[in-house]
Amino acid sequence: MLYGGAAGGGKSYGQVVDSFLFALKYPRSKQLILRRTYGELEKSIIRQAADIVPAELGRYSRQDHAMKLVNGSIIDFGYCARENDVRQYQSAEYDVIRFDELTHFTEFQYKYMLSRIRGANGYPKRMKSSTNPGGVGHDFVKARFIDTGAAPGRKVYCGERTRLYIPATVKDNVFLMRADPGYLKRLEELPERERRALLLGDWDIFDGQFFSEFSRELHVCEPFPIPAEWRKTVSLDYGLDMLAVLWIALDFSGRAYVYREFCSGNDNASDGGRPLIAGEAADEILRLSGEEEISCFLAPPDIWNRQKDTGAGIADIFAEHGVPVTKACAERVSGWQAVKEWLRPVTDELGMKTARLKIFSPCRYLIRSLPLLQHDPKNYNDAATEPHAITHAPDALRYFLADRGTRAEPARDAFESDGTEGFIYAGY
């Protein structure tokens, strides 16, 4: 079950109350409430539990990080600062596990903890989560609960399990509405984007989103034949865990079109396939490029690092297979700034709002990944590197746009030879 969405819905408070009621109803039951850090637990969940649970029914043990009730029930308070911290619960058994702020956790952590819900006492076995949109787990939570196609409040049957999403709204928090009735009015007066996120709990907009400029309506277009005269570049991000390749064309007015992608190496990639070694990756790039004239193959500097056993670099292997890569600028902050500039809305020749960067709709992996990137918590001007699986295609785009900077330049001077003023193909 997931209860989440808008700000002010009383999600953490609801978790505490629900856990207390379950503990009273089922003697000697065991529950676990999780946050990402102990500091977050102490400042919210633990304080609320101490306020809610009457002293004659239960007491909090600071040493054990647990609330122990008089009927033998236990509510543990745990945290998983690092991904593998979930393994500390390897031998644990719980009737109910509760993730507070689920999107702060990874999909691996969530699925691992599902295996800790077990026991022969006959009590209901549940995973109950609450969260706002945003965080490293935003993508998997949205896919698991929001994008199922089921109406909110309706169960989705997945084998022996069921999933249920209950939208949280500020109006659900009757305590807040009574104490501060003006809070709702303040949310309604926010700018449109913030209003949709905080008041409506829109899962396509979330706090911490790095590319708030991205818009499917503005930046995604349907495919059209790329003119042979347009300059074409292949930009790639390669690692043994995943390969991400983008084919990008520049028109005569300086607009860039990502017209093809190939991503391989994890279940979320565009082909869902296995990781490719360097030679296989180069062969696949050549196969997909076909007879196209590619002006440049851009790759990150780390593939020029020499291997200890052979003395050769990944770049050498690419070259041997017919893909002569050029070293791209890998500076992150200026590179991301260039991406933001190319995403920024501009006005075209007809006075319509458009963008200098367009992405063909079949490039689903890039379209999915860009809006999911978040700000690095340690450097607001950089994008976070977690979850790692969604960073590869945006990195490949960054290499291309950082190489061009923030300028919009024509692909070549071909328009001067035929006397035209340049054109926008197929209305884009």
CB 416 within 8 A of CB 293: no
Average pLDDT, stretch 337-362? 91
Cβ atoms < 10 Å from Cβ of 195? 15
Q: Is 374 helix (H, G, I), strand (E, B) or coil?
A: strand
**pLDDT recorded at residue 423:** 33
Average pLDDT, stretch 208-216? 87
Average pLDDT, stretch 301-321? 84
**pLDDT recorded at residue 132:** 85
Beta bridge partners of 165: 2
- Give me the percent of the chain exceeding a pLDDT of 70: 90
Q: Tell me whether strands 74-79 and 156-158 are parallel, antiparallel or unpaired.
A: unpaired
pLDDT digits (tens, 9 = 90+) for 77-105: 999 999 999 999 999 999 999 999 999 99
Kindly report the pTM of this predicted structure.
0.64
Cβ atoms < 10 Å from Cβ of 320? 13
At CA 149, angle to CA 143 and CA 155, rounded to 5? 90
Residue 419 confidence class, pLDDT cut points 50, 70, 90: very low
Average pLDDT, stretch 4-19? 88
Q: Is 321 helix (H, G, I), strand (E, B) or coil?
A: coil
**pLDDT recorded at residue 221:** 92
What is the largest distance, in Å, between two alpha-carbon atoms of the chain?
Answer: 89
| Candidate from 48-57, 195-204, 332-341 with smallest mean pLDDT | 195-204
Tell me the C-alpha distance between 394 and 408, whole Å. Answer: 19
Write the DSSP assignment of 133-188 as a string of letters: S-STTHHHHIIIIITTSPPTT--EEETTEEE-EEEE-GGG-HHHHHH-THHHHHHH
**pLDDT recorded at residue 311:** 63
**pLDDT recorded at residue 401:** 96
Residue 175 confidence class, pLDDT cut points 50, 70, 90: confident
- Give me the percent of the chain exceeding a pLDDT of 90: 57
Residue 310 confidence class, pLDDT cut points 50, 70, 90: low
Reported as type and span, the H/E element at residue 191 is: none
Write the DSSP assignment of 218-234 as a string of letters: HHEE---PPPTTSEEEE
